[in-house]
Structure formats: C-alpha cells, structure tokens
A and B are shown apart, each in its own frame.
Chain A
Amino acid sequence: MEDLDRRRQENCKSCGFSERGQVCGGNRITDETIEYVGILAKLELSPEEKERAKKDMGEMLDYIDKLNELDTKEVEPMSHVFPVNNVFREDVVTNGDDCENMLKNAPEVKERSYRVPKTVD
C-alpha cells in the first residue's frame, strides 16, 4: 500500500525527492536534500564532500532542465534503448550447487551462510 500511495504522489519535477513534503528551490540542492540522499545511499559525507556533491548534483539537474525545455507531451517515456522485447528463459534448472564458490564472495562465512552484523526489523 505504501508503494501505491507513492505512485499517486507528485514528485518534485526537478529533483524527484519531494515525497517528504520537501520542495526544492529550482535546481539548487538544499542541505536537507543532500542529507536525505546520503541517508538513502548509506553514505556518510564530510562537510566538504557535501558541498561538492551539492554542486555536482546541481549541475546534473541544470543539464536535465535543458531537456525539460523540449515539449515531450506526445512522447512515450523510454526505459530501454534497444528495440528488443520478450527475452525469456525456459523453466529448467541449469545451476547446480556451487555453494563453495559462491561463499568466496561473502565478507565472512559461518555455517555455510553469509555472516553479517545482527539485523532485526
């Protein structure tokens, strides 16, 4: 249901991060927005990095604004570049047990499982 709500909401046209009632002033990224994007991306930024990120993101949005000058009312949104549809697999098992190799990717292993910091809801 949360998701359906979100779909009904209008996002801020320039930055798309307006779900929390934030309205962005044009293409200028506010401190709150940088803070919020940092949380979403699980990034801890130093004050200098924040400033740099604000500038970079602002420039990106300026560029996007250029595109907004075009009238795209009649144009379907594009999600894929190639004119390819319907690429399927048949429902046949092709992968065997490769647990040993797969677990080489784990940061730490315990009992044939990926050992991670304690995570509870």
Chain B
Amino acid sequence: MSKEYETVIGLEVHVELATKTKIFCGCSTAFGGAPNTHTCPVCTGMPGSLPVLNKQVVEYAMAVGLATNCSITRYGKFDRKNYFYPDNPQNYQISQLYLPICRDGGVEIETSAGKKTIGIHEIHMEEDAGKLVHDEWEDCSLVDYNRSGVPLIEIVSEPDMRSAQEVIDYLEKLRMMIQYLGASDCKLNEGSMRADVNLSVREMGTEQLGTRTEMKNLNSFKAIARAIENEKNRQIDLLEEGKKVIQETRRWDDAKEYSYTMRSKEDAQDYRYFPEPDLVPLVISDAWISEIKERQPEFATEKMARYKQEYGLPDYDAEIITESKFLADFFEAAAKLCQKPKKVSNWLMGETMRLLKEREMEPEEIRFSPANLAKLIALTEEGSVNSTVAKEVFEKIFDEDIDPESYVKEQGLKTVNDEGELRGVVKQVIQDNPKSVEDYRNGKEKAIGFLVGQTMKAMKGKADPGMVNQLLKELL
C-alpha cells in the first residue's frame, strides 16, 4: 500500500424498546408466542384501524436522548415511509423523518489519544416489521406479525468514528446507558440492538468524504469488527486498483467473513415520505422533560464513584462491575444481603469472571441468585468452608444456582474444626511421610507444604489449611 488511508465510520443503531405493548396498539411485545398470536387490526395494517401512540415509547426515547445529550424536539410528528414488502402489512412504516424526537447529541468514549465525542445526529421512533420465514417445502414465504409494531428507536451517529475499536467503544457505551435506563436489554445476538455500519475511506489528510457503503446483518461485536476490517480493505483495494467504490448496501456473512451487494444506489427505494395523518402531533413541554430528567437513574460513572466511596472498592473493580447494569444490580443485592461488599466484589471479579469467560457468557446471562452468593460468603466468613471448598461450591452455584447451605450439609463439605480429629490425621501423615519430615527437620521449610497437602487430601479438603499448618509445626 503506497498511500495512507483513513476510515470514516457512522452508525445507525436500532434498539428495540422494553415496553410491554407495541408502539401503536395494545398487543403484547413478549417473545416466544406462537405465530400471529400477538396481533390485531392495527399491527396487521387492516383498513380502518387507527394507531394510538404508546406514551412509554416517547418517555424511553426522551430518556435515551437526554442521556446522550441530545436536544428534545418540542413539536414532533410521525411520517409514513412507503415500501412494499410482506413483512410490512400497511405498505408503509410509521417513522419520523422531518421532526425526529431527539437531535444533536453525543456520547463520550475513551480512546488511546484521550476522550473523544461521537456525535449523535438524531434519534427517532419507529415501528418494527414482522418476520418472514421461507418455507423449505413449498415455494412460498410465511409471515408472522408478532414483531410488527414493536417499538424501536433508531440512533443515527455522525461519521465520527475512525476504527473498529471506536465503533465498539461507542456501541458499548450506548448499550450500557440504555440498559441502565431500562429502555432495552440491547442484545445484539437476539436482535434487540442492531447496528448498520456506514463506512468510507479517504486518503489521510483529505477533507472530502469518500463514497460509502452500508453494511447490514452484524450480530455481534466480533462480527462488527471483522466486517469493518474487511470492508475497509475492500475499499482501499478498489482505490489502489484505480477503481471506484460504489454506493450500495451490503450484507455481511460472518461465517464466510465476506460481504455481498444487497442493493446499489440505482435500485435504492424511493420511500415517498409524508406526514402520518392518523397520528396527532407530539408536543413535549419543559415540565415533561424535567420529569424524565428527574427519573433518570444513577449511571455508571456516578455508581462507580459511590462504590469506591461507600464500599471502598478499588477503581478497577468498581469500573468492571458498573460496566454492566446487571452486574451492578447483582452486586448491590448480594452486598445488602451479606453486608460484605468487598467479598462480593472479589467473587464477581475473580471466580464469576473466570467462569463467564470459560463458558463464553455475558454477565447478563448469569442465572444464579445474589442470595446464594451471599450465603456462600457467610459460610466462608464463619469458617464453615475453606477457600478450596468454597470455589467448588461456587461453581455449583454458578451453574445450577444451588443453595450452598444445604449443599454443604448434604455433601459433608463442612470444614472440620475439631482439633482432636485433625490432630489424629496430622499424626498419621507425619508417620506415613518420614522423608518429608526428615527434610523439614533439616531446614527444608518447603517440605511442610507437601505435608499440608497430604493432610488436606486425607481430610478430603474439609480442613482449614491454616489450622493444619499450625498443628504440623507444633507436632514436628
């Protein structure tokens, strides 16, 4: 590569809001219903049906806008975006083109060169489409409208990102904020958060933007990173060969690590937007905005400061725990139950993180209860189980959410603190290992470690290693 290139990236992020009902009708948004069981004349586009806006959708959109420093549009409207596709029963999608609810915001991310703000062009509200399944046996498609009319917000960034890392940092920040607001669970793999990547390249130092492409079907942070790398190289290769980048929408195939053209600008659709006549204008007052502001939760940065101050957590622990709203809530619940915040933090930072990584899980997928972790901490605190046993029990809690109290009882894992019994075992170990005893007496301090190990083994791990150590030293 002879020239230096810069990658310019903007994102369109769709987030499914966590409302109980759809945006314009009283149908449930619950997942997993049989096809078309959550539908009505409104969300299936029956003639004569009328949409009525779900107030909670407006409040979630405002909350996200305020959290991302947007200005809230005081007089807003909805518009119809017209296109034909069977997943869209009305032949138009109700969206906001001219007066989106939020505008001109930004989110701060940390980069190697310091803090950087990624601008937010706008956030608008719209409805999701239904789901098309292609029938394998017959030459037809089957439509399920359960998702039709599920509320979405689309967050459109400015083209402010320059690398895959910045994109992921921006998305993680957005996701964290939205989860803290409770506005969505933001799961990329389940589609409750979807990111389309607009990417172009230009020679370093030039002002003018290159021709961009839009990449769809990105279902994980890893897929996003791979797609960005791949598309950047594809565009640079084209330019290096003296060819042109064509403005088009491409679809990423993560298994093949390759993208292909979905539609070019030539067959881009003409959506013929016009104001939605069935919905009245939306007027947002100062009072309403203040009400939403007051209801904003404690965000990660504030929580982090409080954890350090109130619970004495180290910076790093406080940062990791507050990165996930789920983990932060879990931490607070367990700390409240056992009154040992530092111990809770240690279990989360150590064993929990280790097992999450090993099982390739996100913190949100944790299935055990704060109560069972609190109980385990109480057991270790009172010395009923030693640290080795505690780790074993914790893995059981992590996988099966067992009650550690009854589990320890049933499995007979309780630490033996009966000195008489322990003394007997230690004596036996000394008798059985004359070589190590000899070594120890000749000044080889390390030999005692072996003897402790042998005793623990004889006790099936149920002894307190400190106590064993003490007894050995006494008897040798």
Q: Please, how many residues of chain B have a CB less than 8 angstroms from a CB on the other chain?
A: 67
Q: Please, how many residues of chain A have a CB less than 8 angstroms from a CB on the other chain?
A: 44
For the complex, is A42 an interface residue (Cβ under 8 Å from B)? Answer: yes
Check A84/B280 contact, CB under 8 A, given A95-B40, A98-B39, A119-B141.
yes
Check A119/B85 contact, CB under 8 A, given A1-B214, A102-B44, A110-B142.
yes
Decide: B54 and A95 in contact? CB cutoff 8 A: no
Residues of B within 8 A of A42 (CB): 84
What's the count of A-B pairs with C-beta under 8 Å? 149
Residues of B within 8 A of A4 (CB): 121, 156
Query: Which of B220-228, B271-279, B326-334, B388-396 forms contacts with chain A?
Result: B271-279
Which residue of chain A has the shortest Cβ distance to B99 in the bound complex?
Answer: A79
A interface: dominant SS: loop
For the complex, is A91 an interface residue (Cβ under 8 Å from B)? Answer: yes
Residues of B within 8 A of A103 (CB): 36
Which residue of chain A has the shortest Cβ distance to B55 in the bound complex?
Answer: A88
For the complex, is A74 an interface residue (Cβ under 8 Å from B)? Answer: no
Check A113/B19 contact, CB under 8 A, given A40-B270, A80-B277, A98-B40.
no
Residues of B within 8 A of A98 (CB): 39-40
Decide: B134 and A90 in contact? CB cutoff 8 A: no
Residues of B within 8 A of A19 (CB): 270
Check A86/B283 contact, CB under 8 A, given A95-B25, A113-B142.
yes
Decide: B140 and A89 in contact? CB cutoff 8 A: no
- Return B246 CB to nearest CB of chain A, in Å: 14
For the complex, is A75 an interface residue (Cβ under 8 Å from B)? Answer: no
Decide: A88 and B156 in contact? CB cutoff 8 A: no
Residues of B within 8 A of A3 (CB): 81, 97, 271, 273
- Return A112 CB to nearest CB of chain B, in Å: 5
- Most chain B CB inside 10 Å of its own CB: which residue of A79, A85, A92, A116: A79
Residues of B within 8 A of A115 (CB): 135, 140-142
Task: Please measure, in the bound complex, the distance between the C-alpha atom of A94 and the C-alpha atom of B25, giving whole angstroms.
Answer: 8
Query: Which of B26-34, B312-320, B355-363, B398-406 forms contacts with chain A?
Result: B26-34
Decide: A91 and B56 in contact? CB cutoff 8 A: yes
Decide: B143 and A113 in contact? CB cutoff 8 A: yes
**A21-54 vs B, Cβ < 8 Å mask (1 yes, 0 no):** 0000000000000000000101000000000000
Which residue of chain A has the shortest Cβ distance to B138 in the bound complex?
Answer: A110
Decide: B156 and A114 in contact? CB cutoff 8 A: no
Residues of A within 8 A of B121 (CB): 4
- 14 new A-B contacts at CB < 8 Å, known A92-B26, A114-B143: A1-B12, A1-B156, A2-B268, A4-B156, A20-B270, A80-B275, A80-B277, A87-B279, A89-B54, A92-B20, A95-B38, A110-B138, A114-B36, A114-B145
